Amino acid sequence: KMIGDILVTKQTGERGVPCNKVMVCERKFPRREFYLAMMMERSFGGPVLIASAQGGVNIEDVAAENPDAIFKVPIDIFEGVTEEKAKDVIVKLGLESRMEETVTIIKNLYKAFMDNDASMIEINPYAEDTYGKMFALDAKMRFDDNAEFRQVEIFNE
């Protein structure tokens, strides 16, 4: 029933957007939820890794209610995400037990961000289920309109 209809949410605004695809997946029962994102930030002059242990909710609400719960780490585009920066964020999130796995997620997040000329890639929530397995349960991506000539496949979707 959704395909072909106009989807109206907080994120789409009142006009909504056409629903062309629906993804169906296995239901997960998150025990802990985190927020991970890579964004282009003018105030930092480049990409910034943004993370919070308060995932699964609107990050703007977290920023308004408890700004100290959000960590922002500027990323040097020549250096990329270093092990040190990734591990520092992981410790702040309280995910030390998932260190290696989460370092890989953060590095892949940055790689996808750079390779696809993204202006934002957000995983919310990055969640641990009741069995201790980690999942990216939802994600959002925005791409630089000026990169359309390089990212034809993305912009044709």
Decide: 76 and 56 in contact? Cβ < 8 Å: no
Catalytically active residues, by annotation? 35, 122
Instruction: Tell me the backbone φ, ψ of residue 26, rounded to 5 degrees.
Output: -65, 140
Give me the residue label for tokens 């290696």.
100
Decide: 113 and 121 in contact? Cβ < 8 Å: yes
Q: Round to whole Å and give the CA distance between 88 and 106.
A: 12
3-state helix, strand, coil in the chain (%, to 5): 30, 30, 35
87, two tokens: 């591990």
Distance from CA of residue 5 to its chain's centroid?
A: 26
CB atoms under 10 Å from CB of 145, counted, come to 10
Element (H, E) at 136: strand 134-136
